[in-house]
A and B are shown apart, each in its own frame.
Chain A
């Protein structure tokens, strides 16, 4: 990569953002210990409850990390820094890529933290299972990278907090990060068209041996990624043309 120094400072900026760390790392951990801690010896339908809850929190934490990484562009837009970057040789693509890479970095941190927390409560997964879960999560996060960048261009800093909280909670809730809300019927089919459903499925692929996601998962992820990229590009172009 051509702009390693730039990336290094972006990573540094990400790690110094305390609010970002709290929401994508600490919150899922706290929730995990609060819910799974008292239930660490319980098994539901043959699945160790802390394992189940760890995968649920991994989907939530990694999604939060990914969405808020792109959304931080809103702050840089507001102070005019994105315009300053546009007159440097740094390409827009690299600027966005750095944000996505930082999002992935935080998402992986979040998953690793939960993994360590999980093992403290007796969760055991093999290396293969870990790799599988991680790989599927990274794919499932792609649409959220784009949605994050889109939010970063739609929102003002003032409204970003609530918007981000709302979007994350809605995706997490519908997708089943806090437990499945629809187990059958038409609403189940509806939520299966939402990428967070498949993100949760990706995370929980380790719960059953047959757990590779079906074709529908890949299709939903691809369609959301393409559609959101289109919207984001339109919003980006509108944003670039100054209106004043």
Chain B
């Protein structure tokens, strides 16, 4: 049974989920077309994992529906159209890596060749090793292999690179791209803007249970990729600072100045210019705006969001 090409891969409609008093996901609507690679980006507690659990049928929505390839989650999962990497899900004991992958492959109607997956994920050299004798990075590769061997039309990955270093992260995404090249749909959760920017062709920004922005990476990056420079500098006019190219906002309190710029590149230029113009400037501190702050800015004018103003979360 192959998924109908006419249907979108994922359609979420009015999806909500609460845990006690905490509204983890608040009536979100989202449609993901076949073949899209979408990043679900947001700070911790944004509702990413809850959304993913509902997409996979691991958690039942309070309201709203999940449709995968035009069918229910249950049907899509049973037809082997869905594969996933959850935040938890360590391989079980008493199997070696090859046996584990073979076992998982046997559950799916159209699995990839086990050898191919072992090669692809760099687990061939540990194929005979017991699943409990793996390092953190190796475990992550094995979990990745578990998701890949299913050869699903939709791959759902919940913070797949959380436990691996930068180099491993690049390897991971190179493999993912290769696998997804034949039209797979991929949705992954992350709290790294860089990761979302580099590997997704669409970013859905979530915060406090809502989708607060949705668009191509360039667009989202412009919204949330800002940098803040702080420094000590006496007797400077704020208006002068604001005129430095790349500065989006400037402020001064006593001897401390705060300058905002759109992204990392702009920030570098502003810093150089600042040093040239004001050799007396010192105590530099540069930081990213951060997703949480960026979100607050994005929703600052959201007047119907009462409980945010009241700080209920």
A and B interact physically: yes
Residue B106 is within 8 A (CB to CB) of chain A in the complex: yes
In the complex, the chain B residue whose C-beta lies closest to that of A244 is B19
Contacts A3-B106, A84-B146 known; A75 to B93 CB distance under 8 Å? yes
As a 0/1 sequence over residues 90 to 127 of chain B, the CB contacts with chain A under 8 angstroms (1 = contact) are 11111100010011101111000000000000000000
CB B200 to nearest CB in A, in angstroms, measures 21
State whether B86 touches A83 (Cβ < 8 A): yes
Residue B47 is within 8 A (CB to CB) of chain A in the complex: no
Residue B83 is within 8 A (CB to CB) of chain A in the complex: yes
Residue B21 is within 8 A (CB to CB) of chain A in the complex: no
State whether A89 touches B108 (Cβ < 8 A): yes
State whether A242 touches B58 (Cβ < 8 A): yes
Bound CA–CA A183/B87 (angstroms): 55
Interface centre among A3, A13, A89, A91 (most CB of B within 10 A): A89
CB B54 to nearest CB in A, in angstroms, measures 10
User: Interface-forming stretch among B73-81, B177-185, B201-209, B280-288?
Assistant: B73-81
Hey, which chain B residues are within 8 Å of A3, CB to CB?
106-107
CB B167 to nearest CB in A, in angstroms, measures 26
What residues make up the interface of B, taking CB atoms closer than 8 Å to A? 19, 53, 56-60, 77-80, 82-84, 86-95, 99, 102-104, 106-109, 146, 150, 156
State whether B89 touches A81 (Cβ < 8 A): yes
CB A73 to nearest CB in B, in angstroms, measures 10
As a 0/1 sequence over residues 75 to 112 of chain A, the CB contacts with chain B under 8 angstroms (1 = contact) are 11001110110111111000000000000000000000
State whether B58 touches A88 (Cβ < 8 A): no
In the complex, the chain B residue whose C-beta lies closest to that of A243 is B19
Hey, which chain B residues are within 8 Å of A218, CB to CB?
none
In the complex, the chain B residue whose C-beta lies closest to that of A240 is B58
The listed residue (A6, A75, A81) touching B106 by CB distance below 8 A is A6
In the complex, the chain A residue whose C-beta lies closest to that of B50 is A242
State whether A86 touches B94 (Cβ < 8 A): no
Hey, which chain B residues are within 8 Å of A14, CB to CB?
94
Bound CA–CA A3/B94 (angstroms): 19
